[in-house]
């Protein structure tokens, strides 16, 4: 057997092994999944955070979710998030506007995130006056067994200290 014939066999064998081990990933649905997440759960998430209903806000979170907001301890679990938000929403100056700037979904379609900006107005505990805080947020969503999405990690950080009106 000559060297080129032997090399050809090794190349063929290598090709067969590599193609046999590769997995078919199917069509890339990231853009369609991101659009569905953006128009469904993220739109509802934004709307409900703009309201004053803690139960509706908490319903967007998984049972094991974490919510991290500036100057507050981390809230873990949907129930803790609901309780923490009920306390915050008693503030007559409470107002929150979220502006999602980006929504992405993993190739596997099981995780997604939104990144954006927010403007929060609430009563400053020290001055007792309304104060406005501008900041950024990232919320990570996990697809549920029913095909819906729930937030599992949500972190917010202020761009600067809140300013009183």
Residue 22 has pLDDT above 80, yes or no: no
Assess if residue 102 is contained within a domain. Answer: yes
pTM: 0.81
pLDDT at 27: 85
Mind listing the pLDDT tens digit for each residue in 25-81? 678 899 999 999 999 999 999 999 999 999 999 999 999 999 999 888 999 999 999
Q: Which residue has the tokens 């991290």?
A: 68
Q: Is 68 inside a domain boundary? A: yes
Q: How far apart are the first and last CA of the chain?
A: 88
Residue 21 lies in a domain: no
As a whole-number percent, the residues of the chain with pLDDT over 70 amount to 85
Residue 137: closest CA among 125, 150, 124, 119: 119
The domain containing residue 73 runs over which residues? 29-164
pLDDT of residue 116: 96
Is 11 part of a structural domain of the chain?
no
5 assigned to some structural domain: no
In a domain, 7, yes or no: no
pLDDT digits (tens, 9 = 90+) for 86-133: 989 999 999 999 999 999 999 999 999 999 999 999 999 899 999 999
Would you report the helix, strand and coil content of the chain in percent, each value rounded to 5?
35, 35, 30
Count up the domains in the chain and report the number. 1
- The model's pLDDT over 138-147, given as tens digits with 9 standing for 90+, comes to 999 999 999 9
Cβ burial 55-79 (10 Å sphere, 16+ → b, else e): ebbbebbbeebbbbbeeeeebebbe
Q: Does 93 map to a domain?
A: yes
Q: Does residue 14 sit within a domain?
A: no
Backbone angles phi, psi at 5, to 5 degrees: -70, -40
β-pairing verdict for 61-68 and 149-158 = parallel
112: phi then psi, degrees, rounded to nearest 5: -145, 165
CATH label of the domain that carries residue 78: 3.10.450.50
């Amino acid at each position: 057997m000559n060297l080129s014939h032997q090399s050809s066999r090794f190349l063929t064998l290598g090709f067969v092994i590599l193609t046999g081990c590769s997995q078919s990933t199917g069509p890339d649905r990231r853009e369609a999944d991101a659009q569905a997440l953006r128009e469904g759960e993220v739109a509802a998430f934004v709307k409900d955070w703009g309201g004053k209903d803690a139960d509706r806000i908490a319903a967007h979170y998984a049972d094991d979710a974490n919510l991290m907001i500036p100057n507050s301890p981390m809230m873990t679990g949907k129930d803790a998030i609901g309780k923490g938000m009920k306390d915050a929403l008693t503030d007559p100056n409470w107002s929150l506007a979220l502006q999602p700037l980006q929504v992405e979904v993993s190739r596997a379609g099981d995780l997604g995130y939104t990144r954006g900006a927010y403007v929060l107005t609430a009563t400053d505990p020290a001055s007792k006056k309304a104060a406005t805080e501008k900041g950024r947020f990232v919320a990570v969503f996990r697809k549920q067994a029913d095909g819906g999405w729930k937030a599992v990690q949500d972190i917010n950080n202020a761009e600067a200290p809140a300013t009183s009106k």
